[in-house]
Structure 1
Amino acid sequence: MADCLFCSIIAGTTPAQIVLETPEIVGFLDIRPVFKGHTLIVPREHVPTMVEMTDELLVPLFGMARSVASAVRTAFDAQGSFVAVNNVVSQSVPHLHVHVVPRTKGDGLRGFFWPRTKYADDSEAAEYAGKLKAALAGQ
């Protein structure tokens, strides 16, 4: 879809820190992460919300979310992760995406209030992407 930010990232016309790619799925760092390492897992096919997702995408999408949820523990010394999908409400980009956010006890995240942070620069974002890629490769 021409006006979709995530489709543009998938097509390579908008830069992103890509951490994984399969024939069906792409994962990249959120540019406004809740915590550094916050990753978005998206289908290559433009699907607006989970409601429109086909059964064929279910396993690749959530299988990759599971892999990233495991990898963030290794990559960032996280104790766990927060995994979420918004459908329409609070969905800033209307392309299905699964948030995988590294978590540690006492990190300050409460309920569904997601304070955002920024990477210092592209180099720091690339460093986080590299750590996650390495952890995914080691699975």
Structure 2
Amino acid sequence: MSDWYCDELLSGRTTVEKVFEDDGVVAFWHTRPYYAHHVVVTPRRHVDSLLDCDAGTLASIFEVVRAVAGQLAADYGGAHIVTNLGKYQESKHFHVHVGADDEGATA
């Protein structure tokens, strides 16, 4: 299974522009953005997916997601918050996408 987050990001092999980091969570501008403004929030320790995440780690991640989404919503009128599971999860390391487009939120 592919784990870009452990193999590239957390190992330091790939450099990213970080938005936030502490001992448990990293948030950074996506290297291949889908949205005009696209941040990824992920735990530093390996967690396969949302379904495998303990409550403390989940709370830490979503505190950062809330702050990033709040800023994007203030700047662009809304934000997308997305995570994927199973066959929809390209990298098998829990992460949350927070994004906005210049024209604001869409359905």
> Under TM normalisation by the shorter chain, which class is it?
0.7 to 0.9
Query: What is the percentage of aligned positions where both structures have the same residue?
Result: 27
AA of the residue aligned to 1:95: H
For residue 73 of structure 1, report the CA deviation from its aligned partner: 3.3
* Aligned counterparts of 2:46 and 2:81: Cα–Cα separation in 1: 21
Runs of 4+ off more than 2 Å? none
Q: Which has the larger radius of gyration?
A: 1
AA of the residue aligned to 1:52: D
For residue 36 of structure 1, report the CA deviation from its aligned partner: 2.2
The CA RMSD measured in Å over matched residues stands at 1.8
Per residue, is there more strand in 1 or in 2?
2
AA of the residue aligned to 2:70: S
Residue 49 of structure 1: aligned partner: 49
* Aligned counterparts of 2:87 and 2:64: Cα–Cα separation in 1: 24
Residue 25 of structure 2: aligned partner: 25
Question: CA contact under 8 A between 1:39 and 1:99: conserved in structure 2?
Answer: yes
Q: Give the TM-score, by structure 1 length.
A: 0.67
Q: Give the TM-score, by structure 2 length.
A: 0.85
* Aligned counterparts of 1:47 and 1:94: Cα–Cα separation in 2: 8
Residue 89 of structure 1: aligned partner: 87
* Aligned counterparts of 1:12 and 1:79: Cα–Cα separation in 2: 33
SS in structure 2 at match of 1:80: coil
Question: CA contact under 8 A between 1:26 and 1:43: conserved in structure 2?
Answer: yes
Aligned length: 104
